[in-house]
Copies of this chain bind each other. A is one copy, B any other.
């Protein structure tokens, strides 16, 4: 038996286990997206979810890690090939432990978009998008907040990534879905039609898996087990926000649509989880319940807003869940943070900082998203033909049905 550096062993162990849970969120996203779309596009959506993780793994390892965590400037890290500079040491972690943890986060940001663009996006265009987000878009804004960049300096607080991960994914989803246009049949003669997903079993299992993964996502962002009380605290806030989100959505749908609605409540759980992600370390469980519940209400109206007013067709609700609730949750840190939040006597400046961060990252994601998706559209095309869409992407893009 060699002697052990217990601190390093425990911290590394914790970070890797948390990363494994976050990794498994990929399966959760795949199931939610497959469940919320139609059977004729299932091979395609599963395939996209699988490949974006693979491409993100390669891309983040090859370049993204350095851009995000390299010293560089306040705006940008550095080009470090194949993660050859150690950014774990400062945290008392092996470089590869920190890298792997960050890599699964990058992949999470990447995968959010597939749901919003489901059932009509070209496979090849999607693969390119996956590379660009993990090589460029995500690492740069990530650098601002987590890589010691300018948002970190002004005190912007996004503990586990409501903004850095989720709202980046959400805003890219917004731009992508807007540029793509709605699925055929979604809007007809000014009417918004429901296009029910194929399976709530897949949707529900996916949400349970995502919830599970969030117990790696949020508490794992401590990247250390030095403070067991903090980790346990984050487990509680994470769980309570999700539970409160679900209950709030159930009540909202029950009142608004006369019946308790499962498909929306699944979004409500995720809304609560996304919203608490920024402040899971600094709000109390009671605060988490309030934030989660507000997100659970907000998500219903946000989905309606994009669906019926703005008429951007987002089959799984990614824009509302990740974009809107991610931004909302980040701002709420300024209100509910036990130390310095508005409701704890801290004044408005904290909220101001949070707003700055949300706006800056939002602008970045939307700006780069516009360039990326318009670029793809004009160079390669991002939307399949009418015929392919009508007959299903599985048929023409892959020659392989999901079910036989």
Contact = CB atoms under 8 A, between A and B. Distances in A.
Interface of A: 1-14, 16-17, 19-21, 23-24, 26-27, 30-31, 34, 38, 42-43, 46-47, 49-51, 53-55, 57-58, 61, 82-83, 92-97, 99-100, 103, 123, 196-202, 204-205, 207-209, 211-212, 215, 219, 224-229, 231-233, 235-236, 239-240, 242-244, 246-247, 250, 257, 259-263, 265-266, 269, 285-286, 289, 397-404
Nearest to A90: B1
A92 B212 contact: no
Contacts of A94: 228-229, 231-233
Given A13-B14, A46-B204, A94-B233, 10 more contacts: A12-B225, A13-B225, A16-B232, A46-B200, A54-B247, A54-B269, A58-B243, A197-B404, A199-B402, A263-B400
A287 to B, nearest CB: 11
Contact of A9 (B5, B49, B225, B262): B225
B43 A200 contact: yes
A102 B10 CA distance: 23
Contact of A12 (B7, B50, B228): B228
Contact of A212 (B23, B93, B229, B400): B23
A54 B400 contact: no
B204 A400 contact: no
Contacts of A5: 228
Number of copies of this chain that the complex holds: 3
A51 B4 contact: no
Contacts of A242: 54
B269 A50 contact: yes
Contact of A215 (B20, B232, B400): B20
